[in-house]
């Protein structure tokens, strides 16, 4: 049996109070009540159907994303995580993250989520400006965001994250930095700080707002990065910063090309099998079909020729050096199949190579697409 990558579990909760105009995630505005118990029963049935794909591996991390997972009742969350533990071997120190919208946060419910096993919460703040939050279609205000962060801190969880966006409609440099200062003042162990982009099939795509130009975006990033670094945060991924020791282990597994089982509406999975083949899975997107027990939408084997690009597309999002041995472990391929591309990347100063590692250079970060294109199968 081949050495298999670490395994994570992603669970998707598809409902939101309302759909944000920039959002291209698989989320659906809630009509009526969340079908708490029914949906959990379907999630566990979905998990049962996929257990044979996990090769009995221990699950290291769980991420409950959305949508708005904090719309799920505390009892439903308890049943869900109890059901997962009954079906999968879970690492004793597993990181279990749940996304939460500040507008749906209640102290009692947060405590109950923690009792169910959640030990890390990711709070979707996006901005501390009431005006900007309204433009973004968010249901919370600045004070609710701060209250949610204080609640998370008071629970003494393993960690909590604040999600913050920059490059917002008509946002000035000072407004962007003010958002960041207010986030830093709340002392989260982890900060996701990413640029708003206009995605297809969103309300913003049909009616685009005026966003800061490239020069303004660069100034925001450069000065924001300095603020975060001065406050003790280390950038470890394109849009993720953490205090030392508080990186999101679930996301690290994604970017290191680890495996993840995806359950719930529209959830994606990547699962390496004992014979070395890598499967990609996509679950039924719409809640109506999913809750008629039609869980699997697509499953296909990743072609061997696609693996180098897929591996590096993930790996080079991380700023850490990539151990060379992991290429063979995670793809099943010998390094010789990409030797020519590696040599070209090194010659163009995109990569540095040692006996043990590959490290993307500053030049490589600036020309990441050009670097990745070297590994595309033509």
Global pTM reads 0.94
Q: What is the pLDDT of residue 378?
A: 58
Q: Which residues contact 73 (CB under 8 A, 6 or more apart)?
A: 34, 36, 109
Supply the mean pLDDT for the chain. 93
β-pair type (259-264, 7-13): parallel
pLDDT in tens, 139-156: 888 999 999 999 999 999
- Considering only residues 361 and 106, tell me which one the structure prediction assigns the higher pLDDT: 361
Checking if the pLDDT of 202 tops 80, the result is: no
330-354 confidence digits (pLDDT tens)? 999 999 999 999 999 999 999 999 9
pLDDT class of 1 with cuts at 50, 70, 90: very low
Q: How confident is the model at residue 62 (pLDDT cuts 50, 70, 90)?
A: very high
Residue in the structure block whose two tokens are 């009995």: 56
Q: Residues 214-228: what's their mean pLDDT?
A: 96
Count of Cβ atoms closer than 10 Å to residue 93 Cβ: 9
Q: Given a cut of 70, is residue 365 above it in pLDDT?
A: yes
* Biggest alpha carbon–alpha carbon distance for the chain: 59
Place of tokens 């207010």: 182
Provide φ and ψ at 95, rounded to 5°. -85, 125
Provide the pLDDT confidence category of residue 227 given band limits of 50, 70 and 90: very high
CA distances from 5 to 66, 87, 243, 308, 360 (A): 25, 19, 26, 16, 22
Q: In what order do the strands lie in the sheet with 268-272?
A: 234-237, 240-242, 190-195, 159-166, 120-126, 90-100, 59-66, 7-13, 259-264, 268-272, 278-283, 296-301
Interatomic CA distance for residues 193 and 159, integer angstroms: 16
């Amino acid at each position: 049996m081949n050495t298999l990558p670490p395994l994570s579990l992603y669970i998707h909760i598809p409902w939101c109070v309302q759909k944000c105009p920039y959002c291209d995630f698989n989320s659906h505005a809630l009509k009526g009540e969340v079908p708490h118990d029914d949906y959990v029963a379907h999630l566990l049935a979905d998990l049962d159907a996929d257990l044979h794909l996990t090769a009995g591996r221990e699950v290291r991390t769980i991420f409950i994303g959305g949508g708005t997972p904090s719309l799920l009742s505390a009892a439903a969350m308890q049943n869900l995580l109890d059901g997962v533990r009954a079906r999968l071997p879970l690492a004793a120190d597993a990181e279990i993250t749940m996304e939460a919208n500040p507008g749906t946060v209640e102290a009692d419910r947060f405590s109950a989520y923690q009792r169910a096993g959640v030990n890390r919460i990711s709070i979707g703040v996006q901005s501390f400006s009431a005006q900007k939050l309204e433009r973004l279609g968010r249901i919370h205000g600045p004070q609710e965001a701060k209250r949610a962060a204080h609640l998370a801190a008071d629970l003494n969880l393993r960690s909590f994250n604040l999600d913050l966006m920059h490059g917002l409609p008509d946002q000035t440099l000072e407004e962007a930095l003010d958002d960041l200062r207010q986030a830093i003042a709340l002392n989260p162990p982890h900060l996701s700080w990413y640029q708003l982009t206009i995605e297809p099939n969103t309300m913003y795509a049909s009616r685009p707002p005026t966003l800061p130009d490239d020069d303004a975006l660069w100034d925001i990033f450069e000065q924001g990065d300095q603020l975060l670094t001065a406050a003790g945060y280390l950038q470890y991924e394109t849009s993720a910063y953490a205090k030392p020791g508080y990186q999101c282990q679930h996301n690290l597994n994604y970017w290191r090309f680890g495996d993840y089982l995806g359950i719930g509406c529209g959830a994606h999975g990547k699962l390496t099998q004992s014979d070395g083949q890598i499967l990609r899975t996509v679950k039924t997107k719409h809640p109506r079909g999913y809750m008629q027990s039609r869980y699997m939408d697509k499953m296909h084997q990743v072609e061997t020729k696609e693996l180098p690009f897929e591996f590096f597309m993930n790996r080079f999002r991380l700023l850490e050096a990539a151990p060379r041995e992991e290429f063979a472990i995670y793809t099943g391929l010998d390094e010789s199949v990409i030797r020519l591309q590696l040599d070209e990347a090194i010659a163009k100063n995109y990569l540095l190579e040692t006996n043990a590692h590959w490290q993307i250079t500053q030049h490589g970060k600036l020309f990441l697409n050009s670097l990745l294109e070297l590994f595309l199968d033509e």
